[in-house]
Amino acid sequence: MKRKIGLLFALILVLTLGLVSVSAADRPITLLNVSYDPTRELYQDYNAAFVKYWKAKTGQTVTIQQSHGGSGSQARAVIDGLEADVVTLALAYDIDAIVEKAKLIPAQWQKRLPDNSAPYTSTIVFLVRKGNPKNIKDWDDLVKPGITVITPNPKTSGGARWNYLAAWGYALKKNGNNQQKAQEFVTKLFKNVPVLDSGARGSTNTFVQRGIGDVLLAWENEAFLALNELGKDKFEIIVPSISILAEPPVTIVDKVVDKRGTRKLAEEYLKYLYSREGQEIVARNYYRPRLKSVAEKYETQFPKVKLFTIDEVFGGWQKAQTIHFNDGGIFDKIYQAK
Partner 1 sequence: MKRFRGIRKGQNEGSIITEPIWLQRMLIGVAVGFVIVFLIAPLLIVFGQALAKGWDAYWEAIREPDTFKAIQLTLLTAAISVPLNLIFGVVAAWLIAKFDFWGKNFLLTLIDLPFAISPIISGLIFVLLFGLQGLLGPWLSQYNIKIVFAVPGIILATIFVTFPFVARELIPVMQSLGNEEEEAAIVLGANGWQMFFKVTLPNIKWGLLYGVILCNARAMGEFGAVSVVSGHIRGQTNTIPLQVEILYNEYNFTAAFAVASLLALLALITLIVKHVVEWKSGRHHSNSVQINRFKEGISHEY
Give the footprint of partner 1 on this chain (CB under 8 A). 1-2, 5, 9, 12-13, 15-16, 19-20, 23, 32, 34, 37, 40-41, 65-69, 77, 79-83, 101-102, 201-202, 205, 229-230, 259
**What's the min distance (Å) between Cβ of 178 and partner 1?**
39
**What's the min distance (Å) between Cβ of 69 and partner 1?**
6
Closer to partner 1 by Cβ: residue 20 or 337: 20
> What CA–CA distance (Å, rounded) separates 122 from 145?
29
- Spatial contact of 218 and 226, defined as CB atoms under 8 Å apart: yes
Closer to partner 1 by Cβ: residue 65 or 293: 65
> What CA–CA distance (Å, rounded) separates 15 from 319?
55
Closer to partner 1 by Cβ: residue 192 or 203: 203
Closer to partner 1 by Cβ: residue 259 or 319: 259
**What's the min distance (Å) between Cβ of 67 and partner 1?**
5
**What's the min distance (Å) between Cβ of 42 and partner 1?**
12
Tally of helices (H runs) and strands (E runs) in the chain: 17, 11
State how beta strands 235-238 and 120-129 pair: antiparallel
Closer to partner 1 by Cβ: residue 19 or 107: 19
State how beta strands 215-219 and 120-129 pair: antiparallel
Question: DSSP label at 304?
Answer: P
**What's the min distance (Å) between Cβ of 256 and partner 1?**
10
Which H/E stretch holds residue 224? helix 220-230
- Spatial contact of 134 and 213, defined as CB atoms under 8 Å apart: no
